[in-house]
């Protein structure tokens, strides 16, 4: 096959694969909800760019020059945004390595496919509405075209760097440090500018290079794009061969296993508690979810120490998210990993309720992480201790009661060795997994708004605590109810788990 024929064949095969996945054929409601949420998210990003243009109209913000000052920050956010919207697909190309195809044809198609994904739209969606509002009336249409071209070029460069980082980090986690090393270099010029006025002047000069198509910007940018693309081709090809011929070789090195003997104190629940720890320790998807959730809690807790404006509705909502993030990450797919051995659980009368009880205790203990991380902010007086306790009780009670209901709705099983880059495209994901996180995060917001609008923060904290406390005290009762519901539909769940 020629180079172009390989491209067309791969495009046809990938298109057929997208049409044949169970998620697309059997779960239309979830797909439509995903499309609606995606459109809403991109519309919100575009609205943010428009609002930024309104902010730039103020005299102290420098007009259209503001976008060029914030460009390094937007590139960092764009890189983070891609992790949630762009998935790795090089595992689909493994069978094609056995065919007599042009060496780089498959890799080049993968690069072009990554460029065509909607995850690359963050930077243009921020910058183009800003340019239409603030830049077009000031400089004209020709400069606006050059500005759009320059933004798209920077987005392509950032996309190639992201794909390199994503491919390398799938083999070794140390490559996650690569963006941490590279992106701070973009802020080096800020340290050589003596004043804010000079900063705006330098931003205007840089903007003129982009808008007028100056070769002083476009020639280095195009060279950087070509270099990153060539590096990306080599990295993707070497990783494809590594995954196909090296990664599957069994390693004989002995790994140290964490004993977890202290959990023997819980007797019958000890083995199920160990199972939860092993899941997070050995499953890449769960391990990365735990690391990312913990890092978010730590970073936001550190930010709360120096936050001058405390007690706002947004602050309280993010604090609530810090407590709910573990439940959303691990309890939304409840029983999906345990579905691989669900038949063994239903054979013993006490195994299923003990598993659910162990999960409740384990994820309730995890709530101590945000509680302890937020203590410095409490000591500094930026966060009320009663607010933290109210969120703790509300999450351990009412939130977990809603999330544990997913044990009834989930009837699909996920691979035990699912990696952090793998997709669940071959499973029929229940649409409730898309809806429940919004329900969990949205239900307490009216109570928070009630306290903020009427200056009744203590009353709203008391209400949240009183809502969660009864579910904590009666957790064994409603876990038994869930167990009875699962027993009543065990044959349906077994059929669903087997089908995956």
pTM exceeds 0.75: no
Cβ partners under 8 Å of residue 73, min gap 6: none
pLDDT value at residue 300: 82
The two tokens of residue 364 are: 């309730």
Q: What does the H/E/C string look like for the chain?
A: CCHHHHHHHHHHHHHHHHHHCHHHHHCHHHHHHHHHHHHHHHHHHHHHHHHHHHHHCCHHHCHHHHHHHCHHHHHHHHHHHHHHHCCCCHHHHHHHHHCCCCCCHHHHHHHHHHHCCHHHHHHHHHHHHHHHHHHHHHHCHHHHHHHHHHHHHHHHHHHHHHHHHHHHHCCCHHHHHHHHHHHHHHHHHHHHCCCHHHHHHHHHHHHHHHHCCCHHHHHHHHHHHHHHHHHHHHHHHHHHHHHHHCCCCCCCCCCCCCCCHHHHHHHHHHHHHHHHHHHHHHCHHHHHHHHHHHHHHHHHHHHHHCCCCCCCHHHHHHHHHHHHHHHHHHCCCCCCCHHHHHHHHHHCCCHHHHHHHHHHHHHHHCCHHHHHHCHHHHHCCCCCHHHHHHHHHHHHHHHHHHHHCHHHHCCCCCCCCCCCCCCCCCCCCCCHHHHHHHHHHHCCHHHHHHHHHCCCHHHHHHHHHHHHHHHHHCHHHHHHHHHHHHHHCHHHHHHHHHHC
Smallest CA-to-CA distance from 190 within 70, 307, 30, 277 is with 70
Q: How far apart are CA 390 and CA 289, in angstroms?
A: 25
Instruction: Tell me the HSE value of 438 on the side-chain side, using a 13 A CA sphere.
Output: 8
Q: How far apart are CA 296 and CA 325, in angstroms?
A: 9
Smallest CA-to-CA distance from 330 within 297, 296, 369, 360 is with 360
Q: How far apart are CA 67 and CA 110, in angstroms?
A: 31
The two tokens of residue 455 are: 């200056």
**Cβ-contact 408, 432 below 8 angstroms:** no
Provide the residue-wise pLDDT of the chain in tens; the chain has 500 residues: 777 788 788 888 887 877 766 555 555 666 677 778 788 888 888 888 888 888 877 777 767 788 888 888 889 888 888 876 776 676 677 777 777 777 777 788 888 888 887 778 888 998 898 888 888 887 888 888 999 999 999 999 999 999 888 888 877 778 888 888 898 888 888 888 877 778 888 888 888 888 888 898 999 999 999 999 999 888 888 877 776 566 554 444 455 566 666 777 777 788 888 888 888 887 777 887 888 888 888 888 887 777 655 556 667 777 888 899 998 988 888 888 888 888 888 887 788 888 899 999 999 999 999 998 888 888 877 888 888 999 999 999 999 999 999 888 888 777 776 554 344 444 456 667 778 888 888 888 888 888 877 778 888 889 999 999 999 999 999 999 998 998 888 888 888 777 66
pLDDT value at residue 404: 92
**Cβ-contact 421, 348 below 8 angstroms:** no
pLDDT value at residue 379: 82
pLDDT value at residue 98: 73
Q: How far apart are CA 361 and CA 265, in angstroms?
A: 14
Q: How far apart are CA 100 and CA 2, in angstroms?
A: 10
Within 10 angstroms of residue 373's Cβ, the number of other Cβ atoms is 18
291 CB burial (10 A radius; 0-12, 13-18, 19+) = middle
**Cβ-contact 239, 167 below 8 angstroms:** yes
The two tokens of residue 209 are: 């290079």
**Cβ-contact 67, 131 below 8 angstroms:** yes
pLDDT value at residue 392: 92
Alpha carbon separation from 421 to 79, 110, 286, 321 (Å, rounded): 16, 15, 11, 24
Buried b (16+ CB within 10 A) or exposed e, 93-111: beebeeeebeeebbbbbbb
């Amino acid at each position: 096959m020629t180079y172009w024929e390989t491209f067309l064949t791969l495009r046809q095969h990938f298109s057929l694969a997208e049409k044949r996945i169970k998620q697309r054929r059997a779960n239309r409601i979830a797909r439509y909800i995903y499309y609606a949420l995606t459109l809403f998210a991109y519309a919100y990003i575009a609205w943010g760019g428009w609002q930024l243009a309104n902010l730039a109209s103020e005299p102290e913000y420098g007009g259209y020059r503001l976008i060029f000052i914030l460009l390094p920050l937007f590139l960092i956010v764009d890189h983070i945004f891609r992790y949630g919207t762009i998935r790795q697909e090089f595992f689909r190309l493994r069978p094609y390595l056995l065919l007599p195809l042009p060496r780089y044809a498959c890799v080049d198609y993968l690069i072009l496919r990554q460029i065509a994904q909607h995850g690359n739209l963050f930077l243009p969606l921020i910058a183009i509405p800003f340019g239409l509002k603030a830049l077009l009336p000031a400089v004209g249409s020709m400069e606006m075209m050059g500005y759009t071209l320059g933004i798209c070029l920077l987005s392509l460069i950032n996309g190639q760097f992201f794909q390199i980082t994503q491919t390398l980090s799938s083999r070794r986690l140390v490559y996650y440090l690569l963006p941490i090393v590279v992106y701070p270099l973009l802020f080096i010029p800020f340290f050589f500018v003596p004043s804010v006025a000079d900063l705006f002047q330098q931003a205007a000069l840089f903007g003129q290079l982009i808008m007028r198509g100056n070769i002083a910007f476009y020639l280095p940018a195009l060279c950087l794009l070509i270099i990153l693309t060539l590096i990306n081709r080599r990295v993707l090809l070497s990783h494809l061969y590594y995954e196909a011929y090296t990664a599957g070789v069994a390693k004989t090195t002995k790994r140290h296993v964490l004993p977890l003997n202290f959990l023997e104190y819980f007797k019958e629940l000890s083995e199920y508690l160990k199972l939860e720890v092993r899941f997070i320790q050995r499953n890449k998807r769960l391990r990365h979810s735990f690391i990312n959730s913990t890092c978010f809690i730590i970073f936001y807790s550190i930010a709360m120490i120096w936050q001058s404006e405390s007690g706002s509705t947004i602050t309280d909502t993010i604090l609530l998210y810090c407590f709910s993030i573990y439940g959303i990450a691990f309890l939304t797919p409840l029983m999906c990993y345990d579905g691989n051995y669900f038949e063994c659980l239903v054979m013993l009368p006490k195994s299923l309720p003990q598993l659910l009880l162990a999960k409740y205790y384990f994820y309730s203990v995890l709530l101590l992480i945000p509680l302890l991380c937020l203590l410095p902010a409490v000591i500094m007086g930026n966060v009320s201790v009663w607010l933290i306790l109210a969120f703790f009780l509300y999450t351990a009670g009412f939130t977990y009661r809603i999330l544990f209901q997913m044990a009834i709705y989930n009837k699909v099983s996920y691979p035990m060795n699912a990696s952090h880059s793998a997709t669940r495209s071959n499973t029929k994901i229940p649409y409730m997994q898309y809806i429940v996180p919004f329900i969990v995060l949205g239900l307490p917001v009216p109570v928070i708004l009630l306290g903020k609008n009427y200056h009744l923060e203590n009353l709203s904290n008391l209400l949240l605590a009183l809502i969660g406390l009864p579910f904590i005290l009666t957790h064994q009762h409603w876990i038994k109810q869930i167990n009875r519901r699962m027993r009543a539909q065990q044959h349906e769940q077994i059929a669903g788990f087997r089908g995956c």
